[in-house]
A = this chain, B = another copy of it.
Amino acid sequence: MNVEIFGYFAAILTTAAFLPQLIKTLKTKKANDVSLTTLVMFILGVLSWIIYGYNISSNPILIANLITLILNLLILIAKVYFSKTFNQQ
């Protein structure tokens, strides 16, 4: 059995996982319970995974983290926007 399958399965799951969070945040127009520190640290970490994946030529790591980066940047933008627009606190 090709071990790359686990890599791609992992890549799809840990990438697609952030789509429900983005949809929930856009629907409820708030993400107060989502930690800003977590989002910023996670985005910086994902950027590092992209560099690592590129260097060890791991396509699952590279592709997964590129999409994860985009989704988490959108969650971060939505959180900051909604907290300024709808939930002054």
Residues of A within 8 A of B (CB): 3, 6-7, 9-21, 23-25, 28, 30-35, 37-39, 41-42, 44-46, 48-49, 51-52, 55-56, 58, 60-61
Contacts and interface: CB of A to CB of B under 8 A. Distances in A.
Contacts of A13: 41-42, 44-45, 48
Contacts of A49: 6-7, 10, 14
Contacts of A48: 6-7, 9-10, 13-14
Contacts of A9: 45, 48
Nearest to A39: B17
A49 B30 CA distance: 30
Nearest to A7: B52
